[in-house]
Structure 1
Amino acid sequence: MTILNRRTFIQLTGAGTAAGIIGAPMVARAAGPKVVVIGGGPGGATAAKYLRRLDPSIEVTLIEPNKEYFTCFMSNEVLAGDRTMDGIKVTYDGLKKHGITVVHDLVTGVDAAGKKVTTKGGQTFAYDRCIMAPGIDFNFEALPGFSAEAAETMPHAWKAGPQTALLRKQLEAMPDGGVFVMVAPPNPFRCPPGPYERASLVAHYFKQHKPKSKIIILDPKDSFSKQKLFEQAWTKLYGFGTDKSMIEWVPGAKGGKPGRIDVAGMAVETDFDTIKGAVVNVIPPQKAGKIAFDAGIVEGSWATVNKGTFESLKAPGIHVLGDASDAATMPKSGYSANSQAKVCAAAVAALLKGKEPPAPAYVNTCYSIAGKDHCFSVAGVYTYDKEKNAIAEVAGSGGLSRLDASDEDRKREVSYAHSWYRNVVADSWS
């Protein structure tokens, strides 16, 4: 693939995802329709914010149980010791300044027919349209021996926050010479390059503080996102491919598929072996967040939607975006959720006025930091095929960082990654 020209990418993303939103006039109007947004991650927060920016007459209520949100993106830097937990923490104060009512409670029911949302705290919220961005949940039952309780011993850390802090503490306490075992999830899952960035940054930490330690990735898949770029980085930084490699990747075809998880023995059984670790990071198979199942809008593991508006195919008036939806082609990433939220906000604002939603366009970009001064990325621009209800990547619109990039290019991409993080956080929550 070719590198996306960054100026072109900015032009395309500006023209695509925020067309008619960022430049919308903020005209004061009488009280208007009600929209309830469930979930305060990058999808829900962005949708709430852009609805208000597009039409301040819309009464937007965002319901999120946590008063602070920890971003999954950049959480691997916390594991490496290069970022603090406060460095991935955001609050909802910025959204309140846009006139959004933020309610910290847990949604327990969505009545599509009655158009109301109920919460654990006993509150009821009526809506004209509802946007759900519940993120992921885990198929613990797919891994014999593993459970939500077991994750307190073998953390997944795939929802950032306490699990991230727990895994970091375990890495700090691990003796030099110990083995860090990671169980990677099958497709599809949140942040496709994430497990391999995690392995890279844990190796980065080990290289500095526990140089005798080793990482074993047990993977049910036989390939993974940005594989050539990761393997190139591992070869350069961590001796990959040699008998002194700090990272060993075991694909499914060679015994990487996990079987039973032995929590008490801190081990993972495979078809060929039993792998013990001083620290074991089990990332389970994934599915849509629980409230999407409770609302009856899931088929299989994900909510089925009209990919032009993200309106549920099973419950009109409810829109589902981000990781929980079946928006195939686009990876399940924070930036995908941010982009989809803008498309969804524009569609909801139009539908509330009885108008046709604008033609959607979507973007995604993802940076992976593999070690000191070493980063690479993937980017893409997407359009909607209404006839097929499909999101398709625009030919030639994006691509991967080059394998033959210079050291300076790799270092520069680290600064791009950190700048991207600051921008997407500001865009979603400020």
Structure 2
Amino acid sequence: MILTRRLFIGTSLAASSALASPAVLAQARLHVVVIGGGAGGATVARHLARDSGGALDVTLVETNPVYTTCFMSNLYLGGLRSYESLEHGYGAIGAGVTVIHDTATAVDRERKSVTLAGGQSLAYDRLVLAPGIDFVEDAVPGWSLEPHAGIMPHAYKAGPQTQLLKSMVEAMPQGGTFALVAPPDPYRCPPGPYERVSMIATLFKRTNPTAKILIIDPKEGFSKQTLFENAWLKYYDGMIDWIGPDFGGDLVEVRPETMELVIDGEVQKVDACNVIPAQVAGRIAAAAGVTDDSGWAPVAPESLRSKIDEAVFVLGDSALQGDMPKSASAANSQAAVVVRAIRADLLGTKLRNADYANTCWSLLAPDDGVKLGGAYEATPEKIASVHHFISEAHEDAALRKATYEESIGWYDGITADIFG
């Protein structure tokens, strides 16, 4: 079944709880602060304000007035989608949400207040943290965010970094070499680096057909590996080499100033390089004191409530999510659970069992789309997988094209659900 924008929104609305009762509306309005305006945070803010029927004050804090989605940004790198199609503002997020474009710098959990870079302080009754990811400094020897992201971009937070990476790839000489340094688990969007390689290879087929691509990977394997490797042989034979830990993929050093990589002691000159470092929860989660030694935020599986502070919820990429991957689809699904939990806390509405879903699409080549995903439920230990699916290796072209079209419908639907 093709997932259209209409179907996506209709399904999302059907999952929402009933509006607050008149008795609840008569009570004092409580305040929910949401930090992070992406697939998790903006969805929570929008649906919480709508579903509370005016009983809650909801403030969304997001640094950027225009949000650029990381999901679908690989298609821009491949020349199959415009940059403007990834950009979304907050003007239609809906009544009841106060949007503040600033950066949260501190959380005082004892006083239940958030401090913003501009000096403003926001009191809260419940706090939602959805800040996405940050990078582990020095995770890749020789690379640091400042100044090396301007030479070897990460492009794993979409925006100017994405544009910089594309400009570097397009400026490569004929027959040049592009390298991607992949991150260790866990990280945002497990298939993302490998779809990125596929899309850059799509670009090279049109503009630089003798170019080479190296993937330097510390992992023994990766998401959708068979599907990607089959596609690389079919569409880009001889262009892409994957270097795993058996061949030094876990022993890489970069030299941004000379555009070199040292792989297991061997120097490799390249023309452009995308370094995707190891990742942790967005820094405000650590500043709030709700992360553990893993760098991620442990949460209760049934609600996404922080295991460290019951007044704080963490969702999306920053959370320890059990079996769920870190993806936009997962964050959007988790948002519905957080909304229900906060409404039960503050408005006394009935709380039903948590259920979650995720789908990750990847484009292997123009009109050749694949997907994986599943359904999840809360157990005492974690968010656990109860059903899993993945595209088969030998599907026909019509099904692959339909899967790609389904992903476009999903994108239109989820961005409408997030931003209005």
**TM-score, normalization: structure 2?**
0.94
C-alpha RMSD of the superposition: 2.0
**Equivalent residue, structure 2, for 1:419:** 409
Q: Which amino acid aligns with 1:279?
A: A
> Does the C-alpha gap of structure 1 residues 362 and 13 become closer, same or farther in structure 2, counting only changes over 3 Å?
farther
Cα separation, 1, equivalents of 2:2 and 2:303: 27
Q: Which amino acid aligns with 2:225?
A: Q
**Equivalent residue, structure 1, for 2:286:** 293
Cα separation, 2, equivalents of 1:392 and 1:314: 21
**Equivalent residue, structure 2, for 1:147:** 144
Contact 1:18-1:342 within 8 A present in 2 as well: no
Contact 1:309-1:357 within 8 A present in 2 as well: no
> Does the C-alpha gap of structure 1 residues 225 and 18 become closer, same or farther in structure 2, counting only changes over 3 Å?
farther
Contact 1:35-1:58 within 8 A present in 2 as well: yes
Match of 1:178 among 157, 171, 176: 176
Higher mean C-alpha displacement, 50-59 vs 100-109: 50-59
Unaligned runs of 5+ in 1: 240-244
Per-residue CA distance 1:44-73 (angstroms, 9 max, x = gap)? 001111112221211100001110000000
Give the SS at the match of 1:306. Answer: coil
Match of 1:48 among 45, 49, 61: 45
Instruction: Tell me how far 1:18 sits from its aligned partner.
Output: 6.5
Match of 1:363 among 357, 366, 369: 357
> Does the C-alpha gap of structure 1 residues 42 and 86 become closer, same or farther in structure 2, counting only changes over 3 Å?
same
Higher mean C-alpha displacement, 192-201 vs 269-278: 269-278
**Equivalent residue, structure 2, for 1:264:** 257
Instruction: Tell me how far 1:11 sits from its aligned partner.
Output: 10
**Equivalent residue, structure 2, for 1:60:** 58
Instruction: Tell me how far 1:356 sits from its aligned partner.
Output: 6.1
Contact 2:184-2:218 within 8 A present in 1 as well: yes
Cα separation, 2, equivalents of 1:349 and 1:275: 55
Higher mean C-alpha displacement, 145-154 vs 257-266: 257-266
Contact 1:181-1:277 within 8 A present in 2 as well: yes
Instruction: Tell me how far 1:235 sits from its aligned partner.
Output: 1.3
Cα separation, 1, equivalents of 2:191 and 2:390: 12
**Equivalent residue, structure 2, for 1:284:** 277
**Equivalent residue, structure 2, for 1:377:** 371
Q: Confirm or deny that 1:350 pairs with 2:344.
A: yes
**Equivalent residue, structure 2, for 1:309:** 303
Instruction: Tell me how far 1:231 sits from its aligned partner.
Output: 1.0
Per-residue CA distance 1:83-111 (angstroms, 9 max, x = gap)? 1211100011111x232000011111111
Instruction: Tell me how far 1:124 sits from its aligned partner.
Output: 0.9
Cα separation, 2, equivalents of 1:342 and 1:77: 28
Cα separation, 1, equivalents of 2:248 and 2:155: 24
Instruction: Tell me how far 1:222 sits from its aligned partner.
Output: 1.3
Contact 1:24-1:53 within 8 A present in 2 as well: no
Contact 1:181-1:217 within 8 A present in 2 as well: yes
**Equivalent residue, structure 1, for 2:389:** 399
> Does the C-alpha gap of structure 1 residues 402 and 13 become closer, same or farther in structure 2, counting only changes over 3 Å?
farther
Contact 1:181-1:276 within 8 A present in 2 as well: no
> Does the C-alpha gap of structure 1 residues 415 and 6 become closer, same or farther in structure 2, counting only changes over 3 Å?
closer
Give the % identical residues: 43
Give the SS at the match of 1:269. Answer: strand
How many residues end up aligned between the 2 structures? 412
Match of 2:231 among 227, 230, 233: 233
> Does the C-alpha gap of structure 1 residues 402 and 101 become closer, same or farther in structure 2, counting only changes over 3 Å?
same
**Equivalent residue, structure 2, for 1:105:** 102
Contact 1:49-1:428 within 8 A present in 2 as well: yes
Contact 1:27-1:55 within 8 A present in 2 as well: no
Cα separation, 1, equivalents of 2:277 and 2:122: 33
Instruction: Tell me how far 1:26 sits from its aligned partner.
Output: 7.1
Instruction: Tell me how far 1:129 sits from its aligned partner.
Output: 0.3
Contact 1:71-1:160 within 8 A present in 2 as well: yes
Give the SS at the match of 1:93. Answer: coil
**TM-score, normalization: structure 1?**
0.92
Per-residue CA distance 1:371-397 (angstroms, 9 max, x = gap)? 111110012111111x32x11112xx3
Q: Which amino acid aligns with 2:399?
A: D
Contact 2:302-2:354 within 8 A present in 1 as well: yes
